[in-house]
A = this chain, B = another copy of it.
Amino acid sequence: MNITLKQAEKMIAAAKNKATAIDTKMNIAIVDAGANLIAFARMDGAWLGSLDISIKKAKTARFFDMNTGVIGELSQPGGSLYNIEHSNGGLITFPGGVPVIDDNGNVVGAIGVSGSSVENDHAVAEAGASAL
């Protein structure tokens, strides 16, 4: 019911490959079913401020079992979840966080990626999540 370190490392390797393929430098974080960090990697030259963002994206994706960008659509001014980011010690609700689901449909953790455009961040997170 949890991601193992071996699986987390495999996800990070796949995410790094994707990041390199699209010429970006990423921070990549993997959390388990309890939203606690299992593994993290910051690629050389990646934005320093994206360190915390990648971890918060992974936590946010597991907190609500959905892609972070979906929450961001609802947390805009006037939206039903406006300013939800003030909970849980700080959420990040733009794309780049993706839940990881096992063969039985259980959410077993999440991956968060930050370091480029949100489209690139999401693409790298998807590549990592798909590696499992």
Contact B93 A82 (CB under 8 A): yes
A72 — nearest CB in chain B belongs to which residue?
Answer: B82
In the complex, A65→B38 CA distance in Å? Answer: 18
Contact A94 B72 (CB under 8 A): no
Contact B42 A91 (CB under 8 A): no
Interface flags for A87-107 (1: CB within 8 Å of B; 0: not) read: 111111111000000000000
Report the minimal beta-carbon distance from A32 to chain B, rounded to whole angstroms: 7
> Which of B38, B42, B72, B82 touches A37 (beta carbons < 8 Å)?
B42
Q: Which positions in A face B, CB cutoff 8 Å?
A: 1-2, 4-6, 8-9, 32-44, 47-53, 56, 59-60, 62-65, 72, 75-78, 80-95, 117-118
